[in-house]
Amino acid sequence: MEKIVIITGGNKGLGEGLSKVYHKNGYRVFSISRSIKEKFYTAEQYSCDLSKTETIAPTLTELFSHLDTTITKKILLINNAGDLGTVNTIENLNPKDISYTIRVNLIAPLILNSTFIKLTQGFDCKKEIINISSGAAINPYESWSLYCASKAGVDMMTKVISKEQKHAENGVKIVSIYPGIVDTDMQSKARNTPKENFKSVQRFIDFYKNGELSSPKEVAKKIYKLDKKGKLTNGLILDIRTV
């Protein structure tokens, strides 16, 4: 029997950490990312730019054409890919940047979740979705309106889908996870933003200087353990720093 995990942005940062941890624990791993990483043997890679939302459903449908429902024990989608967006106050954001960030952070997970639930209706196995959200969903940061708003949307999407799937026959379990402060490109972008654009920049510089960033591997291991132990109950919004 086969355990399958599909991870967006699965070849770098937290996504790469998750790919490696799940692969090490016997999962068949698929990564959906904008680019293909050479010699990344942990995952079967599919190229898809999530900002081009019309390409998402066809990519996932193609991936599913290579799966066998009769031997699948569990199938999991992890919506990990995201973008901090332009860090600046709202009046300094242009419509193109606004549209891009909301497409990647919110519209893409909506389409992925919709398509995943549709395509797994014939799967008689455990079915899960983990949305990688952020404490920014509930904590407003000046100059992060795009990121905060999109992550708040991800959390509400999780709550709504959990209610819908609760009543579905062999429904999909869905959760949102706040991974904490992880040493990724997003953190680097935040601390390298000019202070005039981001008042809290020093706080993020201090996170880095004081060694307060968790490694992608550490966070991935924690998420996997919570998943394995059945701690990710349907509709849960969880900050992993509290467990």
| CA atoms lying within 13 Å on the CB side of residue 20 | 15
Active site residues: 147
Neighbours of 76 (CB within 10 A): 23
Tokens matching residue 175: 């959760």
Q: Other C-beta atoms within 10 Å of 142: how many?
A: 14
Task: Give the Cβ contact number of residue 58 at 10 Å.
Answer: 11
Put the strands of the sheet holding 2-8 in their side by side order.
44-47, 27-33, 2-8, 72-79, 126-132, 173-178, 237-239
What sign results for the dihedral spanned by CA atoms 59, 64, 67, 72? positive
Using the structure block, give the residue that is written with the tokens 């998420």.
Answer: 223
